[in-house]
A = this chain, B = another copy of it.
């Protein structure tokens, strides 16, 4: 007890929290109650193979084996915040530099996710919490703010670590060793093949990002595309690329969201948008698809998902994706079941998203100094945690990636098998 140690001032504020502690009259000693609470917290998390190292050098851990990683807690207030709200405050304190990880951040988080009590028990907690979490409604105005928060950070930032075409969704790796550039093109083709696009057909895309899929469909599959997005930065990039590649008459980019889709189309496609829609709005999305899809039209929704309904974790919702919620399949079905839609095919590409994120994290780390220059060191830590946490969540099976292909119930112009036309 009472062992002195130099504390690292917070990356964000520069405050030495030892001073704050002293003002509170606690001194630097770690109390037995604090150690016990930390041990209890680890136990409630299923005893993952991690150890805490406190500001006085003491180690605390409840797992018998060698730790995957060590979490250094730099001051008492960080510890108390972590104890009070671990899911939120782990990220808050990590970003602030008042909590550090010795070892692999990704492996640490995967170990924590894997050790967490199973869905069976967690479901009880989720049901209790659900009314609080599901209250948020993504109106068009809020959806704009949410999109702006994440996607309008700046194209230059995303260009540092995404592939050349700026595809910010799960790639498809024909083999584990496929490179990211190739895997993103393979994903675009995977989606187009499932939709069985034919030259001259019309496609509506809800949430088009930087336009890679829209442009790919137009250039490689000879279709016309109307693509919707709320992000100005992304649309500016997409329109410029359409002109540069000579398909500006084939692809129309519209600054609006799924609610304002107009026209009728041979195919509906949405890659990485559903996460931002919110389950409350799924029947509304279903009505839009019903309105815009021709009788023999096909639809594909590609979305991060869950194995059972659960809200986005609090830290990610606050700092990364406000208003977001990855749905379970039963939740996704509330888009389709109220209407005349029939699911043809569902594929879960969870491990492909873990691989995609590993590529992004690696590229991000290689550019971290430039990111720090563009923003600040806290931003680097926030984004590192988001990317590493996402790798971990997909690897641990806490997040899924569903590609869901559908058509109208009455449509018999459907492929005979997956392999044939």
Contact = CB atoms under 8 A, between A and B. Distances in A.
Interface of A: 114, 118-120, 123, 172-176, 290, 307-309, 328-330, 333-334, 336-348, 350-351, 395-398, 400, 402, 408-412, 414, 416-418, 420
Nearest to A334: B330
Contacts of A119: 338-340, 409
Given A328-B333, A333-B328, A411-B397, A418 B347 contact: yes
Contacts of A328: 333, 337
A342 B412 contact: no
A414 B120 CA distance: 22
A348 B351 contact: no
Contact of A410 (B397, B412, B414): B397
Contacts of A340: 118-120, 307
Nearest to A122: B340
A351 B396 contact: no
A379 to B, nearest CB: 31
Contacts of A333: 328-330, 333
B342 A416 contact: no
A344 B337 contact: no
A290 to B, nearest CB: 8
A344 B348 contact: yes
B307 A338 contact: no
A347 B176 CA distance: 24
Given A118-B340, A342-B400, A174 B417 contact: yes
Contacts of A337: 307-309, 328-330
Contacts of A398: 409
A395 B416 contact: no
Nearest to A409: B397
Nearest to A348: B344
A414 B352 CA distance: 11
Closest 6 CB pairs of A and B: A346-B346, A397-B409, A330-B333, A308-B337, A330-B330, A307-B342
A117 to B, nearest CB: 10
A410 B346 contact: no
